[in-house]
Amino acid sequence: MKIIKIIGIASLLLTLTLVLAIQLIDPNDYKSTIITQVKQATGRTLHIDGDITLSLFPRIRLTLGKTWLENTEGFTQTIFIQVAQAEAQIQILPLFIKQVVLEKIQLVDVLLNLERNAQGQGNWENLLITHTQTETNTNTNSSFSVTLQDTRLQQAQIHWQDAQNQQQYDLTQLQIAIGTFDYPLIQQTTPIQISTTLHALNVQTQLTLETQAQLYPQQQQYRLQPVNLNLTATGDAIPNHQQNLQLSTELFIDLAQEQLNIDTLQIKLLDNITLQLQLQTQQLFKQPQIKGKITLQPFYLKPVFQQLGLTITSDNPIFTQNIQASAELEAIPNQFIRIQQLQFALDTQKLNIPKIQLDTQKQQLQIPEITLQLFNLAATANLAIQDLLTQPIIHSELTIKPFELKKLLQSLNITPPELPYLPLKNTAFHLTAQGALQQLTINAQSILDDNNLAIQNLKLNLDDNSATLEQAVVNALGLRLTAQAQIKQLKTNPSFTSNLQLANFSPRDLLKRLTIPLYNTTDATVFNNADFSTQIQGDLQQLHVNNLNARIDQSRLQGTIDIQAWQPITGAFNLQIDKLNVDRYLSKPNTEKTSTTTSTLPELPLDLIQSLALKGIINIGELTQENLTLKNTSLSIE
């Protein structure tokens, strides 16, 4: 009992001493000392414009009025940081057992100006250096424990100005509230709330974050559960002037087992799209091993377009179909990244990629067995890239299996053309591309009904800005056209040289296929044989047709054509026809009794001919008309 009385008397005397000291000491008398110490530590001037108050009962309460720290020289703002009001409340009795219980820490109307000048220097740099040096020399050994019961930052503002990159961002109405927190760490749950508004690029974004930090220091386990983040962006640059994003998840880290888990990260945007992610990480600090799954929940495109402020005028069924996707992820950084079972579905239309393998050590990317099912179209593809980060070498293949193009267009709500010579019943395609990215070789084959196209060795050389086509063969409507080409200055001002050969064909049969009626010729055997070959050179401004060699029936046309401009078509030509019997190509006379039986040529497109600004000479070796033969006839056009 005597010991208790002694302790009680000692505590009473100590308390009375503290009360007397506080009554006799005015903390404002120490403003100059504080300002001097800050000047020595930071090189900047501290201004304490408000009063400092100190009270003891029922707890120690310290308040500080308006206080601000000057910015360093060479920056636009005068203030680096300013606090309009600060308050701290400390319980008295726990101090006797070396416990600091801060019932309240509150900072109100904080202003922080962060700047980077045109030379890339930040206004915080010399402050941080000095601060680091000061910390290094500070003795951090203490047997005191600290409990923060209520920590708040209210109505804070952070202004960021970057003169070097011409950027400016503002955080306003920043509010931070942190619940009870003990140090040294013990098992505890601490609520955290953050809200603010970001102003950047004429967009205003409101942010709120709520979570609870669950700490288990003995097991070295820490959890954020739940994490709820909401973003609302408004502004003229935002579709529909306002968009929302919601994020929720649970985060768990086990330092002892080196594990990091993200349980069901869910992101919701555009009020219709929900993305979910699950992630587990092992050997976090040694060789992280990551496994996860990502899922895009089913949604419809039409509400997405409406949320973006876009009007849908098309009745394409794609806007009313269900979209979803999923994939599995596995990775070891600096070794590989693997995406498996990547699936994208648009109702019954599906894209499936069983595996995407990126070997970061060997710089290899492999995507085998890609399959696409789009209505009645089925396609497969493979892609492999070696030396991905140095000199990529590509091996790729795309195959579209035979399908009915007309049916596909109808499924897409597109009206197919009704052409008797092109029923769109059978379509197929095959393509390979291989070689270095700068020197790629492409081969392709396509089929459309009884027509086909084959491209052999199309070589793209981006190093010297050129392309070479070894051969392209088109078989269509009974025609066979063969072409070779070279292109220079591919990216700047393309110029090309091409050789064309059209094998012998029947113009009469071609018109019949196209359901174009041919007038009744005097000689029924004409328009049965024709062929064509030439060399074409040109660029975007002009065209030169050299070595023109065309034949129809027994007449052959040779020569050159030069086009110097396109609007209007301006140029010159020099053509030679070996022989031409006009009588054979005249319209057959009408056998019915009429006032005339004269044979005539079909009408020519005179408007088109008159619009051409072409001049030149046509030499005809032998011209026959009305059984009259003329030799060495020249026709000059000015």
Q: What is the pLDDT of residue 278?
A: 95
Q: What is the pLDDT of residue 132?
A: 44
End-to-end Cα separation, the chain, in angstroms: 133
Phi (first) and psi of residue 511, to 5 degrees: -65, -35
Strands (DSSP E) contained in 360-424 are 364-374, 377-386, 393-403
pLDDT under 50 in the chain at which residues? 1-8, 10, 129-140, 594-597
Indicate the DSSP class of residue 494: -
Q: What is the pLDDT of residue 140?
A: 47
**Domain positions in the chain:** 22-120+144-184, 523-588+601-637
Tell me which residue has tokens 């929302």.
244
Distance CA 200, CA 527 (A): 72
Q: What is the pLDDT of residue 608?
A: 63
Measured in residues, the chain has a length of: 638
Look at phi and psi of residue 94 and say left if phi exceeds 0, alpha if psi is from -120 to 50, else beta: alpha
Q: Are 117 and 165 in contact (CB under 8 A)?
A: no
Tell me the one-letter amino acid at 512: K
Mention every residue, 6+ apart, whose C-beta is less than 8 A from residue 129.
none
The three-state (H, E, C) secondary structure of 70-129, written as one string? ECCCCCCCCEEEEEEEEEEEECCHHHHHCEEEEEEEEEEEEEEEEEECCCCCECCHHHHH
Strand 393-403 to 377-386 pairing: antiparallel
Tell me which residue has tokens 């011209």.
623
Helix (H) or strand (E) segment spanning residue 229? strand 221-234
Q: What is the pTM assigned to this prediction?
A: 0.76
Tell me which residue has tokens 């920590």.
151
Distance CA 469, CA 463 (A): 17
